Amino acid sequence: MIGKEAVLAGITGPMKRYHEHMLRDLKDWQPLEDAAQLLLEGRPIVYEDYVPDFRPLIKMMQVIVEKAGGSGWDWADPEIRRIFKEVAEGNIYTMFSEIIVEMLISIMKRVPVRTVVEVGTGPGNVTANLCRAMVENHFEDITVVISDRVPSVVQVSEGLREMYPSLRISDCTWNVCESAPAQLREKLVSPVLLFERFCLPYTGYDAIDNIAPLGDILILVDDLSLTGEKYNYDRIYAKIGRFLVFEEAKKRLEKYCSFIHACDREASEAVHSPVITFTLAVK
């Protein structure tokens, strides 16, 4: 049984830093929503009118409106890849990545985690930062298991093993809309810390029934609506993924976890955002 107090203590520092960053650099989420409205109305965007942190996010919305309505959405499209790379390297995504790693390391310092599992690893940017931090903090005895629906997770894993030879890193090709393969389950030693970033919008809530039973502690990093109301921003993202509501995700998680927490609720309220991004669940 994992003590929820220890886990909560682990996320307090990273969430404080996140809250400070949001208030200092973004202040208000409304301009992003206003930009989404202009894009949906087909009106021009003057990028200089927005704080620099928002600009890659607005470019991303612009490309979704242009591409998803026309030739369709394809993550392999060079323009989409270029703009997504800009978004991923922008301050907001970089901060998300740093905060996830801080949360995971801080939990590892307080709970005797034996396995850390990532779902929907993608190109492995967050994973590489995590591996570096695990080595710096001498967590070589914790096994790392990465997974994704796409088989290229094998190459990502090979690259990480080369970069961090002192860590035990393995991989599994897993579509989380199906139950976890035995090949993955047999790698897990409790307590298991499981995390994912920006995967659930492509799978929907049902994936929670496959993901949640595996972890003793879960960190889900996805925009989940607190109000259930769709905003312009959501209407744009609904063209390529699903609109997810915190209360519905919480109901699914409650089947497996005794404690579910919207970690950044206060930060979201402070910048008038209707979504939270960091959800914690403890078995």
Which of 23, 177 has the CB closer to ligand SAM? 177
Judging by DSSP bridges, how do beta strands 143-148 and 169-173 pair with one another?
parallel
Q: Is 199 in the site for ligand SAM (CB under 6 A)?
A: yes
Smallest gap from Cβ 121 to ligand SAM, in A, equals 6
Q: Is 198 in the site for ligand SAM (CB under 6 A)?
A: yes
Q: Is 202 in the site for ligand SAM (CB under 6 A)?
A: yes
Smallest gap from Cβ 4 to ligand SAM, in A, equals 25
Which of 2, 203 has the CB closer to ligand SAM? 203
Of the listed pieces 44-52, 107-115, 117-125, 161-169, which binds ligand SAM according to CB under 6 A? 117-125
Give one DSSP letter per residue of the chain, joined into a string. ---HHHHHHHHHHHHHHHHHHIIIII--SHHHHHHHHHHHTT----GGGS-GGGHHHHHHHHHHHHHHHTT---TT-HHHHHHHHHHHHSHHHHHHHHHHHHHHHHHHHHS---EEEEES-TT-HHHHHHHHHHHHTT-TTSEEEEEESSTTHHHHHHHHHHH-TTS-EEEEE--TTSPPPHHHHTT--SSEEEEEES-GGGT-GGGHHHHGGG-SEEEEEEEEESS----HHHHHHTTTS---BHHHHHHHHTTT-SEEEETTHHHHHHTT-SEEEEEEEE-
From the list 52, 61, 66, 64, the residue with the least C-alpha distance to 33 is: 61
CB nearest ligand SAM: which residue? Answer: 122
Smallest gap from Cβ 127 to ligand SAM, in A, equals 8
Q: Is 120 in the site for ligand SAM (CB under 6 A)?
A: yes
The two structure tokens encoding residue 257: 């976890």
The two structure tokens encoding residue 226: 């607190």
Question: Going residue by residue from 125 to 154, which x/- string records binding to ligand SAM, judged by CB under 6 A?
Answer: xx---------------------xxx----
Rg (C-alpha) for the chain, rounded Å, is 19
Size of the site for ligand SAM (CB under 6 A): 16
Q: Is 171 in the site for ligand SAM (CB under 6 A)?
A: no
Which of 164, 198 has the CB closer to ligand SAM? 198
Smallest gap from Cβ 184 to ligand SAM, in A, equals 11
Of the listed pieces 33-41, 56-64, 175-183, 275-283, which binds ligand SAM according to CB under 6 A? 175-183
Which of 2, 200 has the CB closer to ligand SAM? 200
Q: Is 50 in the site for ligand SAM (CB under 6 A)?
A: no
Q: Is 73 in the site for ligand SAM (CB under 6 A)?
A: no
Residues that bind ligand SAM (CB under 6 A): 120-122, 125-126, 148-150, 175-177, 197-199, 202-203
